[in-house]
Structure 1
Amino acid sequence: MQAATMDPADEPPSMLWGQDPIFSAFARLFVRDILQMTESTQVPGIYFYNLHPIYKVDVLGTVVYKREREDFFCYGVDDGTGVINCLCWKNDLLKEKGDPTKWRKHSDGAQGGFNPVAELEKLRQAQQSRCRLEIGELIRVRGPVKTSRQQREIMAGTYYKVNDPMMAVQIAWMMEVPQLYRQCYDRAFRLQSVATSDSDISSLSKAKNIIRDFFKQKSVTRFRPYDVQDLLQPLISSQPQTASADQEPVAGPSACQQLRQLLKEALQTLQDEGTVYRKVISQDEVYHVTAHDKDLLIAVKDIIREDSKREKYAEKGCHILHILSAVRQRYSINISKAALELVLKSLECNSDIVSTSENHYIAF
């Protein structure tokens, strides 16, 4: 895989990277995203995911291939989204060759007492069992990301076999990582001073209102970010300059970066509110306006009408979580609860459905 580098104009200044808490943490990213991260042009070995500077990661996955050398193991780790090579160095205990006769002699001489040499051998064997993995076993790897021969790999600082017969560790991991994406990784960190926080909030609110007005005036059903980006340009141009004339200029994002960041945050907020959604997640960023998406309204109405005939839902109606699950299966897995609530409200206003309780709906 060819290593991608970020456009210098889009890259945050390196002096501000430390403001991002993710920079000093082991980022729990999917392997797919580790392989696709862009590399810094300022500091090789630093990568960016959604403008977050990252150089060390934490991965849990299955060993799909292995190679052993005198000083290290090479494990191919698959987390379900991709495979990455992990270079795992052996420590001195792991490289030592055990001599059973020597350990038995020392153990016999101890006459049942504490034998530090024998205990050291037990430690070596335990460590060997945790670090010498076979294909199909579960491994956890933590360390910095490197690019070697145009291939991404992890230089493991810590690695060990995970005993997970009941899949409790994997289930907990699969529940935690998407939450970290929603709360941290997918929200680009804004490298700006605290003094501008009030104006940022005001600009974000104005940006949402501008985009909403665009939906109403043009009766937009779907759009791409570049369709609305120019509408937000006045918000960036009108922001006041906080530095006085006798002060040295402070390094910060360019106007183009600020515009893209404002647009991204506005679209993310509108998604969180359910106003817009992405039917298909792909490189071609297409957003659908929930209230204007007739196909989505028809799909939800048909689901409620069909399931209301079933004996299980005939009396009380369909619960909102049941409707949400059905919509995700039949229409789009990316429909949020907030978006569904807007659709249900619209259908109820049109007398297509009626709510029998706070969270139950039935068709006429």
Structure 2
Amino acid sequence: MQAATMDPAEEPPSMLWGLDPMFSAHARLYVRDILQMTESIQVPGNDTYRNTSIYFYNLHPIYKVDVLGTVVYQREREDFFCYGVDDGTGVINCLCWKKDLFKEEDPTTSGGKHSDGAHGSFNLVAEMKKLRQAHQSRCRLEIGELLRVRGPVKTSRQQREIMASTYYKVNDPVMAVQIEWMMEVHELYRRCYDKPFQLQPTATGDSAISSLSKATNIIKDFLKQNSVTRFRPYDVLDLLQPLISSQPKAASAAQEPVAGPSACQQLRQLLKEVLKILQDEGVVYRKVKSQDEVYNATEQDKDLLIAVKDIIREDSKREKYAEKGCHILHILSAARHRYSLNLSKAALELVLKSLECNSDIVSTRDNYYTMF
């Protein structure tokens, strides 16, 4: 199948894709629609999106999907499974990588001797064997079994396939899961997927919201691309100038001039609103509130990351937190006491996410973190 592509003039600008909730979600699309989606011209196979292309369904930008269907063919290789998944509308190939636990050698067959310990004691070897068997039973499927798979879409050898980030066998003897799935997907199509993504403002209020969204993304991109650690408002003010200059003018020169804020005032007000949004999202924060208005870029603040990591390392050793780890509110309180009173929970969540992505810390459960 030759991948269909969209006219670049019809594509929404990539800077605005994040405004569509579908871009961040695993879209529950029918396989038929996944196979027929048009491919983006702007960033095909871009590394930013893990070597996957971006596709469009009704102008909604999509790069990862969620599918439930019956296995109609199966191939196993040393490192992965290939499953053909049929949801009733079409068949798509799913590349499912084996986890390390799946490929590990069973210690009971490796020739080593392990002590079972005292009668009734915890047997690590036996428990690991049970865990390995349970994992393999959920990941090795036969034809006719039900599979749920989530992950980014990729076009390989002119064929669409899903690079599974999560996959498992679904036990559904009375088809309750499939019925519930079909009802939910139908509702998602009706309320979201079949409504095109609208970017053009239809009223003055929409225009203001659009400008604010554009301005927010401009500042975010500037901070990320330039690895900015600290900045003052006047450092980024000029970046938003084109948004003020491009605002629609009066319909005709004969119209009476209307009193209103100057371009400079509009620019400062826009930046003020953008900075508030960035603080609410935790992207930036003010370490010290003073007349010198300095903002710290949260994810680029190495001192903050080190401080949070030290808190988790030290407190995870305490008996109170040894088992479950440190709760996010405890970490927030300690970070405010040790580093900055103005640190927000949203900013801390970004720090924790960054540390976890770098394997500096691990999440033991929702909102609990520890370090080994």
Q: TM-score, normalised by structure 1?
A: 0.53
For residue 128 of structure 1, report the CA deviation from its aligned partner: 0.3
Structure 1 67/104 Cα, relative in aligned 2: closer, same or farther at 3 Å? same
CA distance in 2, matches of 1:38, 1:189: 15
Match of 2:211 in 1: none
Give the AA of the match of 1:36: Q
Q: Is the 8 A contact 1:63 1:136 kept in 2?
A: yes
- Counterpart residue number, 2:141: 133
Q: 1:77 aligns with which of 85, 106, 130?
A: 85
> Aligned to 1:59, what secondary structure does the other structure show?
strand
| Contact 1:39–1:46 (8 Å) recurs in 2 | yes
Does the Cα contact within 8 Å between 1:19 and 1:191 map onto a contact in 2? no
Q: How many residues align?
A: 206
Q: CA deviation at 1:100?
A: 3.9
Contact in 2 for aligned 1:38/1:47 (Cα 8 Å)? yes
SS at match of 1:181: helix
Instruction: Provide the TM-score with structure 2 as the length reference.
Output: 0.52
CA distance in 2, matches of 1:244, 1:119: 71
Deviations 1:134-166 (A, max 9, x none): 000000000000000000000000000000111
Aligned partner (choices 242, 248, 255) of residue 243 of structure 1: 248
Task: Quote how far apart the aligned CAs of 1:103 are.
Answer: 9.7
Confirm or deny that 1:192 pairs with 2:197: no
Aligned to 1:19: 19
CA–CA separation in structure 1 for the residues paired with 2:15 and 2:98: 35
Give the Cα–Cα distance (whole angstroms) in 2 for the partners of residues 197 and 75 of structure 1.
48
Shift of 1:8: 0.9
Q: Which residue of 2 aligns with 1:49?
A: 57
SS in 2 for 1:180: helix
CA distance 1:32–1:197, change in 2 (3 Å): farther
Aligned mates of 1:178, 1:152 — CA distance in 2: 23
Does the CA contact (< 8 Å) of 1:106 and 1:118 recur in 2? no
Secondary structure of residue in 1 paired with 2:116: helix
The corresponding residue for 2:35 is 35
- Asked whether the 8 Å contact 1:17–1:23 carries over to 2, the reply is yes
Secondary structure of the residue that 1:142 maps to in structure 2?
Answer: strand
Further displaced range: 73-82 or 7-16: 7-16
**Matched residues in 2 for 1:30 and 1:149: separation?**
22
Q: Which amino acid aligns with 2:114?
A: H
Amino acid at match of 2:163: M
Q: For the residues of structure 2 that align with 1:55 and 1:100, how far apart are their CA atoms? A: 42
User: Aligned to 1:5, what secondary structure does the other structure show?
Assistant: coil
In structure 2, what is the Cα distance between the partners aligned to 1:31 and 1:101?
42
Q: Assess if the C-alpha contact under 8 Å between 2:108 and 2:125 holds in 1.
A: no
- Cα distance in 2 between the residues matched to 1:84 and 1:184: 23
4+ residue runs over 3 A deviation: 99-110, 192-199, 244-247
Larger radius of gyration: 1
Output the amino acid matched with 2:24: S
Change beyond 3 A, Cα 1:179–1:106? same
Please state whether the residue corresponding to 1:93 is helix, strand or coil: helix
**Contact persistence 2:107–2:125 (CA under 8 A):** no
Q: Does 1:64 align with 2:75?
A: no
The question of 1:181 aligning with 2:189 is answered yes
How far apart, CA to CA, are the structure 2 residues paired with 1:86 and 1:48? 20
Residue 98 of structure 1 deviates from its aligned partner by: 2.0
Q: Taking structure 1 as reference, are residues 116 and 38 closer, same or farther at Cα in structure 2, changes over 3 Å only?
A: same
Partner of 1:6: 6
- Once the two structures are superposed, residues 32-62 of structure 1 have per-residue CA deviations (whole angstroms, 9 ceiling, x without a partner) of 0000000000011000000000000000000
Establish whether residue 161 from structure 1 lines up as the match of residue 169 from structure 2: yes
User: Alpha carbons of 1:132 and 1:188: their partners in 2 closer, same or farther (altered >3 Å)?
Assistant: same
Is 1:51–1:188's contact at 8 Å kept on the other side of the alignment? yes
Matched, 1:143 2:117: no
Question: Post-superposition shift, 1:77?
Answer: 0.3
Partner of 2:223: none
SS of 1:70's equivalent?
A: coil
The residue number in structure 2 matching 1:152 is 160
Matches within 5 A, 1:272-287: none
In the alignment, the residues of structure 2 paired with residue 17 and residue 94 of structure 1 have an alpha-carbon distance, to the nearest angstrom, of 37
CA RMSD of the aligned region, Å? 2.4
